[in-house]
Structure 1
Amino acid sequence: MITDVHFLEGLPGLTSAQDFALTQIDDQGLLFSLRGGTDGSTRLFVIQPGPYFAEYEPTIARDALDALGLGEADEQKRAVLVIVTPGSDTSTTTANLLAPVVLNTETGAALQVILEGTPWPVRAPLVAA
């Protein structure tokens, strides 16, 4: 997966940082760190949702995919990651399924999109499927 990520729009609630370094944390390639800002002080944890939320298949709006340079046939160039909020232990760690990060794995362009009209929660308990 690409390591330099550029958010086309700032992330809600964070500094104006738009350029991040994506670093794999675990051996399985499921957990990543996104570190950005001029001094690298903005840090998020993101995961590939499949192993934790098998039923999670968000529908990404066409305008978001167009902005990322992703067409209908570009499924292999698209990665969907979800932001994780660490808890005091694994039982209190949650993932934001309502607003995933969509990434063009070839260019590094990214957007956090809000899934309108879906049942996905902002704080889904993180449990292996």
Structure 2
Amino acid sequence: MSIPLTFSVAPFGLEPLDAFTLTPVADTDGLFTLVGSGTTASGASEPRLYLLDAAVHLPSYAPSLSDAQASSIGLTDPAEAMLLVVATPGATGTTVNLLAPVVVNARTGVGAQFILEDQDLPLRAELARA
């Protein structure tokens, strides 16, 4: 089942898009595609990112959002947050961006990609195989 999402600010590199569809990848647990509706400023049509559900793949990952960040997506209860990380497959493995997660307010379908300040998290962390 695909979920329409609205971003309060376009994800990095996908400007000026604010409408996306989050779709689970078939036969996987916690892997999604995020597809933009339209064309980015750089000319990519319907760009696609792979996102992992942090609760499934990175259970100890617990970044802190600022009050302003939470407020920007209408998040008032942490239980309503869906925490996703951008996954980049490579020839020797997959990396995930822990410094700039995508957070979705599950109640409203509003999301944003946030840069976490004052948190020592990697931009490209190797994803360990289970």
TM over 0.5: yes
Quick one: distance in 2 between partners of 1:2 and 1:77?
A: 18
Where do 5+ consecutive residues of structure 1 fail to align? none
Other structure's SS at 2:128 match:
coil
1:52 aligns with 2:57: yes
Shift, 1:28, TM fit: 5.0
Give the gaps of 5 or more residues in structure 2: 40-44
Separation in 2, partners of 1:75, 1:124 = 24
- Taking structure 1 as the reference length, the TM-score comes to 0.86
Does the CA-based 8 Å contact 1:2-1:105 persist in structure 2? no
Query: Does residue 114 of structure 1 match 2:115?
Result: yes
Where do 4+ consecutive residues of structure 1 move more than 2 Å? 26-29, 50-55
**Aligned partners of 1:67, 1:97: CA distance in 2, in Å?**
20
Q: Does 1:77 align with 2:80?
A: yes
Q: Answer whether contact 1:24 1:33 (CA < 8 A) is retained.
A: yes
- CA deviations over 1:57-82 (Å, ceiling 9, x no partner): 000111111111111xx222111100
User: 5 Å matches for 1:1-129?
Assistant: 3-38=3-38, 41-71=46-76, 74-88=77-91, 91-128=92-129
For residue 42 of structure 2, what is the aligned residue in structure 1? Answer: none
CA contact (8 A) 2:53 2:84 kept: yes
The structural deviation recorded for 1:2 is 7.0
Over aligned residue pairs, what C-alpha RMSD do you find? 2.0
SS of the aligned residue for 1:50 comes to helix
Alpha-carbon distance, 1:93 to partner: 1.0
CA distance in 2, matches of 1:106, 1:93: 30
Number of residue-to-residue matches in the alignment: 125
Q: Normalising to structure 2: TM-score of the pair?
A: 0.85
Note the C-alpha offset of 1:47. 0.5
